[in-house]
Homo-oligomer: A and B are copies of this chain.
Amino acid sequence: MTCELCTLPQGVVLHQDDKLTVLAVDEAGFPGFCRVVWKEHVAELGDLSDADRAWLLDWVVRTERAIRHVMQPDKINLASLGNMVPHLHWHIIPRFRDDSRFPLPIWAPAQREWPDLIARLQAALDATA
């Protein structure tokens, strides 16, 4: 079996060590979206040893704090799903009140254009006319 997270984790590497990789990923409409990918091919958090689990979750929280420090999002969403790729990884997602899904999860249908930026640019430009 070929697992894309064993071979090709996509994104800009922010940190890596022998256990995990922290990536900034390019998800349209969700700037600052990061992933922490465990290097070993393991499916579930509960499959890790206590020490490995603590290490992984420590980096999830470090990533959360870095995102909050830089972006001041309205909320952080954390998720480890892995239904498509059952290789342990965490999504750390800064959420903003005007993002396309807020307050729904990012996987819900879009509620609005994100971040209403076009309309706001248009209004600002119109105001100069």
Contact = CB atoms under 8 A, between A and B. Distances in A.
Contacts of A114: none
Interface in A70-129: 75-84, 86, 95, 102-105, 107-109
Copies of this protein in the assembly total 2
Contacts of A78: 45, 78-81
A4 B44 CA distance: 30
Interface stretch (A6-14, A16-24, A57-65): A57-65
Interface size class of A (residues with CB under 8 A): 20 to 34
A25 interface: no
List 7 A-B pairs, minimum CB-CB distance, nearest first.
Answer: A83-B103, A105-B107, A79-B79, A46-B64, A78-B80, A77-B81, A107-B107
